[in-house]
Amino acid sequence: MSVQVRTWPVAGWIFAILWMFVRGTTLAPMALLGQLLLGLAVGLPIAYLFRRLYPRWIGLGRAGVVPAAGRYLLDFLREVVRSNVDVAYRVLAPSLPMEPEVILIPLRVESAPAITLLANSITVTPGTITLDYAEEANALYVHVVDGRDPDGIVDPIRRWEDYALEMFDEEASSSEPAPEIVVSGGDRWGERSRGDQVGRESSGDPGHDGGDGRDGE
């Protein structure tokens, strides 16, 4: 049976754990404890301030919650380390090709805490950032520094969503197929990109289509 607890303290603890990952503290017990306490000092007030964005209560105590949370934390930590190495390598080797991209990721999770957890996890991970949440589509706009392999970028996000489906007792199941992503962010971002391209073409040099403009001389 699920135990109902207030949502904002749970969100505060999640923020505190994310804070520890962002700070990159050493594995010494006292250092970890210090960063956890500092994260709670930051995360709990923020979670309380925005408590109206969350459901008032959340169900905890189900058998699968703790294992799912543990798998999420391990997977998230692994991805943060991998992304840090990747971004550092790109900084040291600026000649590497990069194609920034905006990806629209439709979600299966629907509760505010689960969506917030995914959005913050994406932003904390180097190389990706959550730009916006489309409520009508229940989807996240995610900017990536190199979008040549969008499926590879979305794979860890889908794993985190699988864990969140169990952690927050969502209606959908991890066994259900995930909605297809949209590269270039769909119509909203795609139309903006095409508009920028048209603008650049229309403001080009006078001789863009007519050589140097002296054909009639």
Using one digit for the tens of pLDDT, what is the confidence trace for 98-155? 889 999 999 999 988 889 889 988 988 889 999 999 999 999 999 999 999 999 999 9
Judge whether residue 62 has pLDDT over 70: no
pLDDT tier for residue 17 given thresholds of 50, 70 and 90: confident
Token pair of 55, please? 């459901």
pLDDT tier for residue 24 given thresholds of 50, 70 and 90: low
Judge whether residue 84 has pLDDT over 70: yes
Radius of gyration of the CA atoms of the chain, in A: 22
Fold classification of 97-201 is Alpha-Beta Plaits (3.30.70)
| Gap between the Cα atoms of 54 and 9, Å rounded | 11
For the chain, which residues make up each domain, given as ranges?
97-201
Token pair of 195, please? 């508009």
Q: Which residue has the higher pLDDT, 49 or 217?
A: 49
Token pair of 155, please? 């794979």
Q: How far is residue 85 CA from its own chain's centroid?
A: 18
- For residue 148, give Cα distances in angstroms to 108, 126, 140, 156, 161: 24, 16, 19, 16, 22
Q: What percent of the chain has pLDDT over 70?
A: 74
Task: With beta carbons less than 8 A apart as the criterion, state whether 170 and 164 touch.
Answer: yes
Average pLDDT, the chain: 79
Task: With beta carbons less than 8 A apart as the criterion, state whether 7 and 55 touch.
Answer: yes
Q: What percent of the chain has pLDDT over 90?
A: 29
Q: Is 158 exposed, middle or buried (0-12, 13-18, 19+ CB in 10 A)?
A: middle
pLDDT score of 206: 45
Judge whether residue 156 has pLDDT over 80: yes
